[in-house]
Chain A
Amino acid sequence: IFFYPGTVKMHMAVYLVAMCRAVPVNDLLDRASQRSDKMHSLSTLLTQEMDSHFPPYGRMQMPRPADCHTSILQTPNDKEQALQVSESDLMSLARSLLRGWVDPLAVLSTNAITLPHPAKSSISSKIQELQEHSKSLADGLDILSGKMGPAAQTISFLPYTGGTDLGQDRVTILNKFNFLLSCLRRDSHKIDSFLKVLRCRAAKLQPELC
């Protein structure tokens, strides 16, 4: 029995970590990939919902993916590259992307309520759901990364500099909203692909998962 609060806290932390270790990594990865799958599904639905009532961009006005605030992060772009990246790096990439979308999601959530779009309520609820999934997944990946190498602990900083205001006129607002959603869909796809590759690689004893 320890009487000092400091040591008690430390022992509590150790106890919690020990408890989390009780859940196998495969199971944690499975849950994480399910969460990321749900996130990607939601972001895909959002872009489709936006496009149903919004004419597609002209060639000149279409924003380029390089303009996404997360494009500075170097990620594998095809299957071979993804299979060659280490597990820790894959985890780091996923966590970095996830961390980078916390602020933009808040901006999207704020602007969705007043979005000049007929499906704004549905869009707004989906964005809120996305936020919840994102938070939960980030917490889970924090625990998972503790079981992996030091590279997994490294998170790249991807700041969002777009500001909270999307524009003044309807077209600008809708364009920016649409652009953000396309960037979100791209990054959710990356997170989902990386985590699923990670899950398959960790579950080599259970080929039926992959």
Chain B
Amino acid sequence: SVCDARMRTHLGLVMLCVMSAAGVCSSTSAPESPRQFDCRSREKETFSCWWEPGSDGGLPTEYRLFYEIEKGVRECPDYVSAGENSCFFDKRHTSFWAEYIMMVVATNALGNASAQFQIPDVMNYVKPDPPVNVTVVVNSSAPSPFLEIRWKSPPNVDVRTGWVTPKYELRVKQNDSKEWKVSTVDIGAQTFFNFHNVEHGLLYMVQVRCNLDYGKWSEWSNTIFAKIPKHHQLEKYFWIFVFVFSLIPLLTAMYILVLKRKVVKQCLLPPVPGPKIKGVDVHLLKSGQSEDVVNALTGNQNFPPMAAWTEQVEDFLLVSDSDEWLLTDTFASEEKKDIFIIPASLHLGLEIQCGDSTVDLNTWEKTDDSKEETKSNFLNTEPINLPIEKQECLSGEEVSIQPNTSYVDIQQRPTLTDYSRVKEVNGDTILILNEEEIPHGSDAVKVKREVSVPDDYSRVKEVNSDVVFLEKGDSADGCCKKKGDHYTDWTNQKPIMPHDSELSKGFCSKMIANGYVDSVPSFSVK
């Protein structure tokens, strides 16, 4: 019937459906062939290859590698060392410059699949590991800083035999910059490099990589950071600044010193005044002859020769207290006749005329009351015999005394009247009167106990500037006290004068009147 035919058709379809459903749930297949094959040698001694497996068909699939090199087919020696789906060829199984034909076979329960890969030269797959122990040191000693970069070859590369020649390359970048500066190390096995293109105060990143025999480059090494210090530069500029600025005033000061060197010399080294003697010419001293020197020192006076002295001493003025002496003075008449009185106003430094002296004497006489008797004698104005020239003065002519360089300093003594009591002189002008020397006939002598120059110069020992030294108890007493005569001849000499002692001794005998006399302002004369 019709229902039975439809039931059979439906059963068939159901059966078909069930059967097909069972096939979908448990479908496996043979594996697909592996894809992508790649190899790598890290040290030019061994190499590894990897493949990418295809679909495994739902079933456990085994992969095997077979390679053929020159002669024979071999299987991969090591499936483990290089990881999954890999093959590792050790030294004994590695050949360079030889072609490898690789075949990878995937096998499962349902079938297998294979793929072939051709490796013409393993050398083309040499790619080393990156360099290790990369160090960067900042060197600041040079004018500009630089980085000292050092590294070491990868540990698995053997550089001792020459079989492998590594070459290196490095790159440096500022931390905030995007571009790398690459430098290739030209010398093959060199493992250091000085990178100079750096600036102060910046942070730099350094990386190194290598290759073997111009093969593939390794990966870049770990990044090493290096910072270049900044303050060094500023410090250097600071000190340059300070140096330059301190140099400017120094140069200015030196310039001024050079310009005003005379003024500076005046300030620092003031000229020391040289010694000056009145009337002495320094240049004369330097270059002059001894004569000139002596003349300069002695006031340009010519000392008379000794012989002249004796001649000249003949003329001098005798002054005494008593008339008796005058009359009976054989001594005087014998030798000397005149005693010179040197007027008080006589200054050798001045020009004095003989006539003037006469006038002075006259006036002098007038003022002295007690000495009228001796006027005539007193007025015996024989010219003062200065042992210098102008001997015409002896005859009463005028005497001019050479003024210029005075050897003797004549000064006025307003209070001197009686000098008979002088014993000794102390200091400059102090005289001590000597009681013993009071002459016999000195009743007319008015002893004025003054500190003054004595009238008895017979005992003059030495004259020192304004001081008259008397000798005690000299032999001059004898002659000088001769009838109470007083030979007033005095000298007031400068100590420089020679023949001091002789003068005092020979005074009485020869009545020497050396012209070096200091005027006594007043003296008692009879």
A-to-B contact residues, CB < 8 Å: 37, 40-41, 44, 59, 62, 64-66, 75, 77-80, 82-83, 182, 186, 189-190, 192-193, 196-201, 207, 209-210
Is B26 close to A, CB under 8 A?
A: no
Please tell me if the beta carbons of B98 and A65 are within 8 angstroms of each other in the complex.
yes
User: Is B209 part of the binding interface, using a Cβ–Cβ cutoff of 8 Å?
Assistant: no
CB proximity of A107 to chain B, nearest CB, Å: 21
User: Which residues of A sit under 8 angstroms from B99, Cβ to Cβ?
Assistant: 64-66
Listed residue (B116, B161, B189) with the most chain A CB atoms within 10 angstroms of its CB: B161
Contact B160 A186 (CB under 8 A): no
CB atoms of A78 and B96 under 8 A apart: yes
Known: A65-B98, A186-B97. Is A200-B162 also a contact (CB below 8 A)?
yes
**Shortest distance from the beta carbon of A49 to any chain B beta carbon, whole Å:** 13
Q: Which of B96, B116, B162 touches A196 (beta carbons < 8 Å)?
A: B162
Q: When the two chains form their complex, are residues B214 and A196 in contact, meaning their CB atoms are under 8 A apart?
A: no
Q: Which residues of B contact A40 (CB under 8 A)?
A: 213-214
Tally B residues with Cβ within 8 Å of A: 25
Q: A residues within 8 A CB of B95?
A: 77-78
Chain B residues within 8 Å of A186, by CB: 97, 121, 123
* Pair B159/A210 contact, Cβ less than 8 Å: yes
- Decide yes or no whether B155 CB sits under 8 A from chain A: no
**A residues less than 8 Å from B188 (CB atoms):** 37
Closest 9 CB pairs of A and B: A200-B162, A196-B162, A77-B95, A44-B214, A197-B162, A79-B163, A210-B162, A77-B96, A65-B120
7 of the cross-chain contacts (CB-CB < 8 Å) are A44-B214, A65-B120, A77-B95, A78-B94, A79-B44, A182-B120, A200-B161
On whether the beta carbons of B97 and A79 are closer than 8 Å, the reply is no
Q: Is the CB of A200 within 8 A of B120?
A: no
- Inter-chain contacts of A193 with B (CB < 8 A): 162-163, 213
> Chain A's nearest CB lies how many Å from the CB of B121?
6
What's the A-B contact tally at a CB cutoff of 8 Å?
70
Q: Which residue of chain B is the closest to A201 with respect to CB atoms? A: B162
B44 and A200 form a contact (CB under 8 A) = no
Contact, CB under 8 Å: A189 / B162: no
Chain A, Cβ-Cβ closest to B101: A64
The digit string for B85-110, where 1 denotes a CB below 8 A from any CB of A, is 00000010011111100000000000
A196–B214 CA distance with the chains assembled, in angstroms: 14
B residues 151-190 touching A (CB-CB < 8 Å): 158-163, 165, 188-189
CB pair A80–B91 under 8 Å, yes or no, is yes
Smallest Cβ-Cβ distance to B120: which chain A residue: A65
A65 proximity list for chain B (CB < 8 A): 97-99, 120-121
CB distance from B118 to the nearest CB of A (A): 6
Asked whether B56 is an interface residue with its Cβ less than 8 Å from the other chain, the reply is no
Other-chain residue from A62, A75, A199 in contact with B97 (beta carbon distance below 8 A): A75
B45 contacts the other chain (CB 8 A): yes
Interchain CB contact under 8 A, B120 and A64: yes
Q: Contact at B165–A189, with CB atoms within 8 Å?
A: no
Interface SS majority for chain A: helix
Residues of chain A within 8 A (CB-CB) of B91 are: 78-80
Contact status B160-A210, CB under 8 Å = yes
Among A62, A77, A82, A199, the one with the most B-chain Cβ atoms within 10 Å of its Cβ is A77
B163: chain A residues at CB < 8 Å are 79, 82-83, 193, 196-197
Interface residue from B98, B158, B160, B161 paired with A77 (Cβ < 8 Å)? B98
Q: Which residues of B are found within 8 Å of A197, using beta-carbon distances?
A: 161-163
Nearest neighbor of B163 in chain A, beta-carbon distance: A79
Judging by beta carbons under 8 Å apart, are A59 and B97 in contact? no
Residues of A within 8 A of B44 (CB): 79
A189 x B213 contact (CB < 8 A): yes
Determine how close the nearest CB of chain A comes to the CB of B136; give it in whole angstroms: 23
Judging by beta carbons under 8 Å apart, are A77 and B97 in contact?
A: yes
A190 contacts B97, C-beta separation under 8 Å = yes
In whole Å, how far is B329's beta carbon from the nearest beta carbon of chain A? Answer: 134
Give the Cβ gap from B302 to chain A, nearest Cβ, in Å. 106
Which of B120, B165, B213, B214 touches A62 (beta carbons < 8 Å)? B120
Cβ of B165 and Cβ of A196 under 8 Å apart?
yes
- Residues in B with CB closer than 8 Å to A201 are 162
The residue on B at minimum CB distance from A187 is B97
* Residues from 10 to 67 in B contacting A, C-beta threshold 8 Å: 44-45
- Per a CB cutoff under 8 Å, which of B98, B116, B158, B213 touches A192? B213
Q: How far is the CA of A210 from the CA of B161 in the complex (A)?
A: 6
A41 to B184, CA, bound (A): 14
A186 to B392, CA, bound (A): 145
Report B72 CB to chain A, min CB distance, Å. 15
Closest chain B residue, CB of each to CB of A192: B213
Contacts of A210 in B (CB 8 A): 159-162, 189
C-alpha spacing A37/B165, complex, angstroms: 9
Q: How far is the CA of A97 from the CA of B91 in the complex (A)?
A: 25
Interface centre among B118, B120, B189, by most chain A C-beta atoms within 10 angstroms, is: B120
Whether the Cβ atoms of A199 and B162 lie closer than 8 Å is yes
By a CB distance below 8 angstroms, the chain B residues around A189 are 97, 123, 213
A79 touches B213 (CB 8 A): no
> Given contacts A83-B161, A197-B162, could you give 5 more A-B pairs where the C-beta distance is less than 8 Å?
A37-B165, A65-B121, A78-B96, A79-B161, A200-B162
**A139 CA to B285 CA in the complex, in Å?**
101
B69 to A, closest residue via Cβ:
A77
Per-residue contact bits, chain B 208-245, to A (CB 8 Å; 1 contact, 0 not):
00000110000000000000000000000000000000
Instruction: Name A203's closest neighbour in chain B (CB-CB).
Output: B162
A188 → B minimal CB distance (Å): 10
Complex Cα distance, B95 from A75, in Å, reads 11
Point out the residue from B45, B98, B116 that lies within 8 Å of A79, measured CB to CB: B45
Given contacts A44-B214, A65-B97, A78-B95, contact A59 B118 (CB under 8 A): yes
**Bound CA span A198–B161, Å:** 9
By CB atoms of chain A within 10 A, which of B158, B162, B214 has the most?
B162
* Least Cβ–Cβ distance between B238 and chain A, in angstroms: 45
A residues less than 8 Å from B97 (CB atoms) = 65, 75, 77, 186, 189-190
B160 lies within 8 A of A200 (CB):
yes
Residues in B neighbouring A79, C-beta threshold 8 A: 44-45, 91, 158, 161, 163
How long is the Cα–Cα vector from A64 to B70 in the complex, in angstroms?
12
Most chain A CB neighbours (cut-off 10 Å) among B91, B120, B121, B163: B163
